[in-house]
Structures are given as C-alpha cells and as structure tokens.
C-alpha cells in the first residue's frame, strides 16, 4: 500500500458538537441506529454488528460495512451525517459483517489517487477499500466477487493515514478472529474500532481454519487495552466501538479480556487432565458468564467452549 498521506481538514468544533447533541435514528423498522461516539466519529449499530464512521471535509472513512442487504440503509445513515461521498472503507476482517457491503459502499464513494489523475479516461474512482493483505488473499482464494476486494493493503504490524484532519492507525493482530484482523484507532477523536476481536454482546468468535485462535483474541484485546485510557474513576476516556453490542470503554474491554482468559485457562486445564470435549462441555466452564454473553442463538456457550477446546488442545 502506498505510504502517501492525504492532508485533511478538521470539522469545526461547533459542527461536531451540534451533530453529536442527539442520537439519530433511521426508524425502528430498519434495525439500524446512528449514535455519536466522540470527536468526529459515529457508530451505525444493528443487532448483527457495528459500523464506525469518521466524518469531515474530505469525505467519510467507514470501518466495516454491514452485510450487502443493509447497504442502502447504511448509505442513508451516512448521508444523514454528511453529503460528501465515502472516501475510504476499512475492513477489520473479511467476514460478511465486515466486508459484505464493501462493493456497494465503494461504488457509492469516490477516491482519486494522484496517479489516477494523470489520465482521467476510464478512472475507477470508487472509494478505496483498505485491509490487511491476508484479507485480500483469503477473499481471492474463496473466489469472492472482485468488487469487494481491498484496493489498498498493508502487510506490516501497523499502518496509518491522515483522514479528515485526524491520524488513523491500523494495527494488525495476526491470529485473532482470523489472520487479517485490524484494530482501527482514531487518535484525535480517541476512538478505537475493535472489529470482531471484541463482541460486547456474546463470546468472541474465531475461525481456526482462517488462522484464528483464542490466544490471538486475548492478544487483540490486550492491544486495545494498550491504546485505551480510562477517564476519571475508570469511566469514559477512550471510546471503543465493538464489533457488535453497545459502545464500551477501557473497563468494559478489561472485564471482557479477563472473562476470555479465565475461560481459556479453565478449558486448557481440563484438556491437560485428559478430559474429552464432551466432558468439558458438561463441566460448563462458562457458567458464571453465560448470563452476560450466552444469549447468542448461533454462537451458544457450547460452541464457544468447543472452539476454545480445539484451539488449546491442538485440534482434538
């Protein structure tokens, strides 16, 4: 990926405060709610997951797109924040929640590189799609439509760009939900978009077949905690947009990290004693957390325990 930085213009403080003064809704029937986070960052929240949007004079930077079926609603919500076309789309991973609507949102956006302006004929001026190189590799291997592929990739542990008057950092976590996870940090707004590494509504999901692991999830959560700074009395401070669920702060992520670590250690200890998967499930190593995170119909505690067991027991 090119290392050029685009110089941006920050929104006036009065404009940001006016936009953030009240939540904006698209209507209960849409299942999508737009909430101010802080600074120039907003969250588009659905039961299935969250999208993060940074607005400003250059055009929105969007983190994760929601599935393709929600693209019209996502675009309508973004347009309620700003009339400017989307400039950048960042994919924190390659799953449907993150990348399903990438093609639709990219076509509705506009980003012309300096090299493109040399010959304007036939320019593909869609919004750029940014992700770690491993996301592109897996999309191409799975023969996903090329319009959803990242147009700009990075392969280093960290990368950054300047967008709308703000430094935006990309931090790669190599083996968390999958092998291409990116944490996005909006430095001036002090907002972290954590992607699938942090699910505030359920146990974390990871795909060993795509390079994911429970240890990588914990590493990713620790990376978020390295960035986040709590406010007074451990409240507020750095705002964190999870891959799904309510907005969070440093304390929420620390509690979640502790839960994941405790469950992993319990399952690992049982596996080392020679217990089978069925025996571990019967022992219910998540029982004291199921009230908070066990309500997902497609990712119940048993499936999480099975994934952890296979991760720590070498695929048994």
Domain spanning 13-263: CATH 3.60.15.10: yes
Q: How many CA atoms lie within 13 A of 240 on its CB side?
A: 32
pLDDT by residue for the chain (316 residues), tens only, comes to: 433 333 333 444 333 334 443 344 433 335 899 999 999 999 999 999 999 999 999 999 999 999 999 999 999 999 999 999 999 999 999 999 999 999 999 999 998 765 554 455 555 679 999 999 999 999 999 999 999 999 999 999 999 999 999 999 999 999 999 999 999 999 999 999 999 999 999 999 999 989 999 999 999 999 999 999 998 877 889 999 999 999 999 999 999 999 999 999 999 999 999 999 999 999 999 999 999 999 888 999 999 999 999 999 875 5
In angstroms, the CA 192 to CA 183 distance is 7
* pTM of structure: 0.87
Instruction: List strand residue ranges (DSSP E) for 174-217, in order.
Output: 181-186, 191-199
- In order of 30, 124, 198, 212, the CA distances from 205 in angstroms are 25, 35, 9, 9
Domain boundaries, the chain: 13-263
In angstroms, the CA 219 to CA 162 distance is 26
Q: DSSP string spanning 102-124?
A: HHHHHHT-----TGGGGS-TT--
- In order of 75, 171, 314, the CA distances from 132 in angstroms are 24, 9, 26
Q: DSSP string spanning 233-244?
A: GG-SBSEEEEEE
In angstroms, the CA 150 to CA 105 distance is 12
């Amino acid at each position: 990926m090119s290392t050029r930085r685009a110089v941006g213009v920050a929104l006036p403080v009065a404009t940001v405060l006016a936009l953030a003064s009240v939540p904006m809704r698209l209507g209960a029937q849409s299942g999508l709610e737009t909430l101010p986070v802080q600074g120039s960052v907003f969250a588009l929240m659905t039961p299935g997951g969250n999208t993060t949007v940074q607005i400003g004079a250059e055009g929105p930077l969007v983190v994760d797109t929601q599935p393709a079926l929600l693209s019209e609603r996502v675009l309508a919500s973004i347009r309620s924040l700003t009339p400017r076309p989307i400039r950048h789309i960042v994919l924190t991973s390659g799953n449907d929640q993150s990348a399903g609507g990438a093609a639709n949102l990219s076509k509705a956006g506009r980003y012309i590189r300096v090299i493109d302006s040399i010959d304007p004929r036939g320019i593909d001026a869609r919004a750029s799609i940014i992700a770690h190189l491993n996301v592109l590799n897996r999309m191409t291997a799975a023969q996903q439509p090329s319009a959803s592929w990242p147009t700009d990739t990075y392969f280093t542990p960290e990368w950054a760009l300047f967008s709308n008057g703000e430094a935006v950092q990309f931090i790669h976590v190599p083996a968390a939900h999958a092998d291409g996870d990116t944490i996005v940090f909006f430095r001036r707004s002090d907002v972290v978009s954590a992607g699938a590494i942090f699910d505030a509504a359920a146990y974390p999901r990871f795909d060993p077949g795509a390079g994911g692991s429970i240890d990588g999830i914990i590493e990713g959560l620790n990376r978020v905690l390295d960035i986040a700074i709590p406010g007074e009395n451990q409240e507020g401070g750095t705002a964190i947009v999870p891959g799904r669920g309510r907005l969070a702060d440093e304390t929420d992520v620390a509690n979640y990290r502790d839960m994941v670590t405790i469950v992993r250690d319990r399952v690992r200890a049982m596996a080392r004693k020679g217990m089978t998967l069925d025996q571990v499930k019967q022992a219910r190593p998540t029982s004291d957390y199921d009230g908070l995170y066990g309500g997902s119909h497609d990712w119940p505690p048993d499936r999480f325990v099975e994934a952890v067991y296979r991760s720590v027991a070498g695929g048994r």
